[in-house]
Amino acid sequence: MSAICSGLSCFAQTDCNPSLPLFKFDGDQSSSAKEIHKLGTAPEFPFLRNMSSPRQVADALKRNDDNNTAGISELNDMLMAIGFNNGIKDVDESNITMYRIPPGTEGNMGSAGYSNVYCKLDTDPAGTKSWKISSGNGCYMYVLAKCGNAFYPKTNTPRTACINVPVNVTGDMTLNSSGQTATTTDKVYIYYAMRRHHRHGTPHPIAEIPDAYPSRPLLLSTTKDVQMVPETYKLTVNTPDNTVTVCPDSTLTLPATINVEKTSEYSGYYPSAKTEYKKVSKRVYRRTERKMRRAKRLERRVARITGVHVDEPVASK
């Protein structure tokens, strides 16, 4: 399945809410940037410190949402500024991702007392671990994992607004399936015609045996035949929407319907089980019966010695 988007048009967007100090920059401040090499000395939102996953961050936000504190009020203002109309209440795990801010990144960082300082982050050669909170409208903020302080980078790269784009979903294909398994069992019996004084006055009920008074049929061999019955299916993918809204820093959700339709199935020969009765002399029948009894006794003896069941020998076709 593929989504083909065309007709994109982008335009520059100003900072999410430059009226808040966290998102406001005054010209070129590089020369005055405070270099930060250590975090945790002045935490801004202590309840967000040392989280290990987006789920933990989301849970910590929900647990503290009802606290009537200056910290919650400050954080709600920041979240509303980046597009969450109800602040913390609108943030869930899907809005939070782990992100390492590259060394040397400059921007505004919150501190204890809810003041802000323009700084240059240089805490870890691998990047400062943070939690990126995105609203889906192109605006975002960071919460530094070590200290729970807000951070917003200064960038000269213009952001793009959310736009609507057309969607073309393709995914029709034909699937060949081996289908169902067809198993048949062929059996071969032997018998002999009993003499008059052994007939007991009642014909044998098995229709496949032509003799009216056969002996008890003796199973001589069993052969199993396993075949696959092929089938063909058509797989179709489509979406109910002709357009979708695409925003920076947000996951594109594209609902789609997958239809599976059987288009053909095996119409040839389906194997059927066969049972064959072979007439032999009474002497051959008795000899075979004795040998089979000895074979079974030997199998049971081997099974007792080895603890392993011995399968009966099966004649092949």
pLDDT of 257: 80
pLDDT of 243: 77
Looking at the whole model, is its pTM more than 0.75? no
pLDDT of 176: 66
pLDDT of 168: 74
pLDDT of 7: 32
Per-residue pLDDT of the chain (317 residues; tens, 9 = 90+): 333 333 333 333 345 667 788 988 887 777 788 999 999 888 999 999 989 999 999 999 999 988 888 889 999 999 999 989 899 999 999 999 999 999 999 999 998 888 899 999 999 998 999 999 998 888 899 999 999 999 999 875 445 567 777 877 766 667 666 666 767 788 888 888 887 655 554 455 677 888 878 888 888 888 877 766 677 777 787 777 777 777 665 667 777 788 877 776 666 556 677 888 898 888 999 999 899 888 888 888 888 888 887 665 444 33
Residue type, 170: T
Q: Classify residue 215 by burial, with Cβ atoms within 10 Å: 0-12, 13-18, 19+.
A: buried
Tell me which residue has tokens 């009537």.
68
pLDDT of 9: 32
pLDDT of 197: 57
What b/e sequence results for 259-287 when a residue is b if at least 16 CB atoms lie within 10 Å of its CB, and e otherwise? eeeeeeebeeeeeeeeeebeebeeeebee
Distance linking the first and last C-alpha atoms of the chain: 47
